[in-house]
Amino acid sequence: MSEKEEVVFVTHNKGKIASANKHLKEINFKIFEYELEEPRSDDIKYISKYKVMEAYKLVNKPCISLDCGLWIDELNGFPRAFVNFALETIKIEGILKLMEGKENRKCRFTECLSYYDGKEVYQFMGKHEGTLSKEVLGNNTDKKWSDLWYIYQPYGYDKTLAQMTEEERKNREKYESIDSMEEFAKWYRNRISNI
């Protein structure tokens, strides 16, 4: 493997693309915009692995795939890995309705980035603690991964991701947050330097 090896990120999510441009800038990567099929599973590690292996069949190059779920404590973890299904059916307004009258509004995003080089899958976990707002708040942005940005407040903040400035979103990562893209980038740079 050479330093010029290209890593392909297969996704159609504009927010994930913006995040990759921020976190993976020291890596030779490119975006292949495509919506990968998502298997029905509650296990984000399984979903991410399945998707990265499908991605490899498309591009035939080392690639990454990222999957994310939201766990809400008061709802026994719902919607977990079924975020897209929840947003398509009950939307963020439905999630807020389920949370009406609930004092415990703790939640967390859990994410898994999978890298596949054609031989082996490597996985990197991320976690972002926070709470749910009581209403939809904030502005539309091409940085958002999903509509959950309008109701998710990162740990240590009383505003949603959609209300935060770019600088605030960057600084929030020091609070109860592990980013799977950063974990992958550190590992990948180390792997390249040892070859």
The rounded distance, in Å, linking the Cα atoms of 156 and 34 is: 35
Closest CA to 65 of 46, 52, 83: 52
Pair of tokens at residue 193: 């330097």
The answer to whether 84 touches 70, Cβ cutoff 8 Å, is no
Contacts of 88 (CB under 8 A, 6+ apart): none
The rounded distance, in Å, linking the Cα atoms of 65 and 54 is: 9
Annotated catalytic residues are: 67
